[in-house]
Structure 1
Amino acid sequence: MADGLHEVAGGTPPVERPPMRVAVFNVKYSPNLGDGVIALCLEWALAARLGNAEVRSLDLAGRQDYVAPSGAGLRRLKLALLQRLPGPLRDKVVEFALGRLLQRRLKPAWRRALAGTDAAVFGGGQLIQDGDLNFPLKLAAAADECHRRHMPTAVFGVGVAKSRSERGRRLLAPLLNAPSLAHLAVRDAQSISNLCAYCERPAELCRDPGLLAARLWPSPPRPGRERALIGVGITHPVVLNHHHSHGADRTGTADGIEQYGRIVDMLVSSGFDVLCFSNGAGEDEAFIAAARQRLLRAGGAKAHVAVAPRPPTPRALAELIAGCDGVVSHRLHAGIVAYSYGVPSIGLRWDSKLDAFFEAVGRVPYIVDFDAAAVGGIGALMVRGVAEGVNADIRRRTLDDAEAGIDRLADALARAIEQRRTDPSASGAEPLAFVSSIVAAGSA
């Protein structure tokens, strides 16, 4: 970012400005700790580039800390019920459930948190999606609070899913088309293509902030081992079924247990030790408990398989993955964190965002279907992956690209904040039209 943003022509000394304050709307405190990795990496990198600005995340669900999930059974039931509902009815159920929470708790909390804030970033994760109205409703409400303050905004590092809902598109339009939007960047080429359904504004390509995990939390070299250690990330089939985008048959609980068991079988018989883990979501932890007996008997060699306790924080998840020699997982950010630390990974296909990441880092051969044929070859594929490793030059350039994307975000925010401080009327009444459009979308 260029120095001298505050210099005045004619040699006048720079005007002293208070430190910048930036809010980042995301799901930092999600039980899925991969979301926390994204948030913490973005906070760290953006604060450094804005002169040690105060950068604070505001969780879109109103969470305040990393707490071990409870009520996983109820969440699984809700997801299963939503999957059975027709799209329009599912939207009405979600909107009814969220309406009171947004008006009574989330919007007032965001209003208080935004007092004295210079700009807001909507950043990280698969936020732009309207598979149901959960994110569109929350993002529209958060954008409303920003626009009421005539505050510069940015959308950065997000994934964009294909749109399926006119209602969802209308709710997201005020965020993505606002005159106050200073920067728009998404994390992969597929997201750029999908974004066209939501807005006409061009977006730039950036890398996922989670790729900076290894720079935020450097890890010592992995120890030498008699048998390489492979981390197997476990995801509950109810999550795979709710979000899958490949038209595959739904995976039942018993089938999922057997498929993961066979993965561990193949890895053990290929000469690896295995550590089963989750990204922290309650339903995934419950599924590990249900599958534990099958996982531990894999290959008839119990000593070669262990189940990790739930990581309590995003950093703990990152360090767990960094300590492995290879990773197999459905979860996108298990693969992203593994890549950050140079750990070769195999992605289990379920959502197109996983394909997009593996394509972006040149690892397409290492994403496979979650079916009997592919699972049978995972041991041999991991042997190849560990032998090849992750190309160090490409990895370094990828992480440098991730930092360069945050440089561009910081530049755009600094310019927008300076303009607002110099001329508070610069954003004028224009954003109020977008507040009105949110209201119109909500009543449609």
Structure 2
Amino acid sequence: MIERCVISILHAVMDNLGFTRDDYQINSRAAGIITQKFLKSGNRADIASAEKSISEADLIVFGGAPLFNYRYQNFYRKTITTLELAEQYNVPVIFSSIGVEDFDGENPKCVQLKTALNLPCVRQIATRDNYEAVRKYVEGTDITAAQVADPAVFADIVFRKPDLPIKPESLSKQNGKASRGRRTRRRLRKILGQLIHTRPATQSPSQALAPDSPAVVTQTGRQSDIEQGQRCIGLVVTRRGIFKDNKIPFTAAKQHALWLDVIAKLTEKGYKYRLLTTGHYADEVFLSDFVRKNNIDLSKVRLPINQPEDLVSELRRCDGIIAYRLHASITSYALGIPSIGLTWNFKVPAFYESIGYSGRALSVEDWTAAALLEAVENAMDEGVNRDTDFAMSVYSTLFSGVREILRPDESNLVPFSFEELQSKLPSDPGTSFALYRERVNRKMRRTYENFIKG
């Protein structure tokens, strides 16, 4: 989700600066470009591909994601290595809407990260959730620091539906190839579903992937059953270990019990529900286990999610969302769907406060079915009032950073207005078959690895 929104925003920035698509190329790479093998060995040969990509770049933009995390993740090491290579090859770096943990000057990992962030190649650091920490990271430097929105606040525009249908003659030319691609994707999804979602023989894994019967489309463009007297609530689960990692007194068993209570309460009050994840492998492992152990109706489950289009489609089916994962909340906000965030990390209440709905982030003390249902009902009654100035902060800040690097003598250039940006942001082209297969294979590899570990 973040990647696709950042790419769309970057295209708009380049357009805004007077570049055509023939003038540049965006080479999107995951943090995994710095391999685990290198982190263990320290052998530069293990990051030859990363070094080649970085040396050939004119600009590096880190878009979104918690790339400074050092407390229980190793993102910071990958970021440090990337910055050291960028400095070696004199490639300027911008961090746009990064998730940032608190700064700890006594923690050697944090100090090591600060040293790398203070390299001359770093020009701008914008965070979505922790400006004070960024300010401490850049203290004593000329690096620009800012607090901005998450790029996913533009998900409604980036993942908008095409304005015009494909012409019949074009469709007939593409039909054979497209059909083959769809059939192959269905096979891959079914295989993955079988690997991580074992069910009794009476219900095949493919049922978990099948959508419900067609629903009506409301004026907001969301699929909803509200005209039939029922509203649908999306329930977004998370991985079992996230609470321990964040020192929250909550267990996987308690998460099981919470969702069962919520489902019972929703059913009692006549709501429909959808169980889903944002696509994280570990979250899907939890959901698979929850569904299997509690004999959940598979028609109410979306598993797996392998592309952001799937997440957007699922969220649009809902009238309200209860979510652990932050990007389910952010994407729901972009789509105009009221959501409740369950606070497992400071970033959850930080987001809701930034959009003017601080009461929609619930701490662990309020994680009861009654409290969650009351909160989501109140949110649905109140609706979502989107702040365009807040949304524009991520675009305007990135525009300024890129302009200073690629158009340093043209300070007269100004960022698009929100109205202009709505038409200038290119819509997402969709997940290619190659990328879809890569993501499925990555999940399969993790399944194999975990199986081998026993």
- Do the structures match in fold with TM over 0.5? yes
Aligned counterpart in structure 1 of residue 150 of structure 2, from 204, 208, 218 = 208
How far is the alpha carbon of 1:352 from its aligned partner? 0.3
Does the 8 Å CA contact 1:348/1:367 hold for their aligned counterparts?
yes
Cα-Cα RMSD? 2.8
**Alignment deviations for residues 208-242 of structure 1 (CA, whole Å, 9 cap, x no partner):** 11111111111571234221111100112212322
1:222 paired to 2:227: no
SS in 2 for 1:122: strand
Aligned counterpart in structure 1 of residue 126 of structure 2, from 177, 182, 185 = 185
How far is the alpha carbon of 1:133 from its aligned partner? 5.9
1:47 paired to 2:42: no
Q: Distance in 1 between matches of 2:308 and 2:42?
A: 26
Aligned counterpart in structure 1 of residue 393 of structure 2, from 398, 401, 405 = 401
How far is the alpha carbon of 1:163 from its aligned partner? 3.3
Does the 8 Å CA contact 1:347/1:354 hold for their aligned counterparts?
yes
Does the 8 Å CA contact 1:152/1:417 hold for their aligned counterparts?
no
SS in 2 for 1:237: coil
Q: Distance in 2 between matches of 1:365 and 1:132?
A: 28
1:173–1:372 CA distance, 2 compared to 1 (3 A): closer
Structure-2 residue corresponding to 1:236: 239
The runs of 5 or more residues in structure 2 that have no matched partner are 162-219, 411-454
Q: Match for 1:399: what amino acid? A: A
How far is the alpha carbon of 1:99 from its aligned partner? 2.5
SS in 1 for 2:99: strand
The runs of 5 or more residues in structure 1 that have no matched partner are 1-36, 65-93, 419-444
How far is the alpha carbon of 1:387 from its aligned partner? 1.5
Q: Distance in 2 between matches of 1:212 and 1:101?
A: 38
Does the 8 Å CA contact 1:259/1:372 hold for their aligned counterparts?
no
How far is the alpha carbon of 1:355 from its aligned partner? 1.0
How far is the alpha carbon of 1:373 from its aligned partner? 5.6
Does the 8 Å CA contact 1:156/1:409 hold for their aligned counterparts?
no
**Alignment deviations for residues 179-207 of structure 1 (CA, whole Å, 9 cap, x no partner):** 2322221113xx11122443304511221
Q: Distance in 2 between matches of 1:147 and 1:339?
A: 37
Does the 8 Å CA contact 2:127/2:147 hold for their aligned counterparts?
yes
Q: Match for 1:123: what amino acid? A: G
For normalisation by structure 2, the TM-score amounts to 0.68
Does the 8 Å CA contact 1:330/1:349 hold for their aligned counterparts?
yes
Structure-2 residue corresponding to 1:85: none
Report % sequence identity: 21
Structure-2 residue corresponding to 1:171: 112
Structure-2 residue corresponding to 1:255: 254
Q: Match for 2:272: what amino acid? A: D
Q: Match for 1:362: what amino acid? A: G
Q: Match for 1:307: what amino acid? A: V
SS in 2 for 1:138: helix
- 1:227-376 matched pairs, under 5 angstroms: 227-242=230-245, 244=246, 247-249=247-249, 251-292=250-291, 306-371=300-365, 374-376=368-370
SS in 2 for 1:61: helix
Judging by fraction of residues, say which structure has more strand. Answer: 1
Q: Distance in 1 between matches of 2:6 and 2:354?
A: 20
For normalisation by structure 1, the TM-score amounts to 0.70
Structure-1 residue corresponding to 2:444: none
Q: Distance in 2 between matches of 1:408 and 1:317?
A: 31
Q: Which stretch shows the higher mean deviation, 326-335 or 45-54?
A: 45-54
1:417–1:112 CA distance, 2 compared to 1 (3 A): farther
Q: Distance in 2 between matches of 1:168 and 1:137?
A: 9
SS in 2 for 1:128: coil
How far is the alpha carbon of 1:97 from its aligned partner? 8.4
1:387–1:99 CA distance, 2 compared to 1 (3 A): same
1:287–1:293 CA distance, 2 compared to 1 (3 A): same
Q: Match for 1:222: what amino acid? A: R
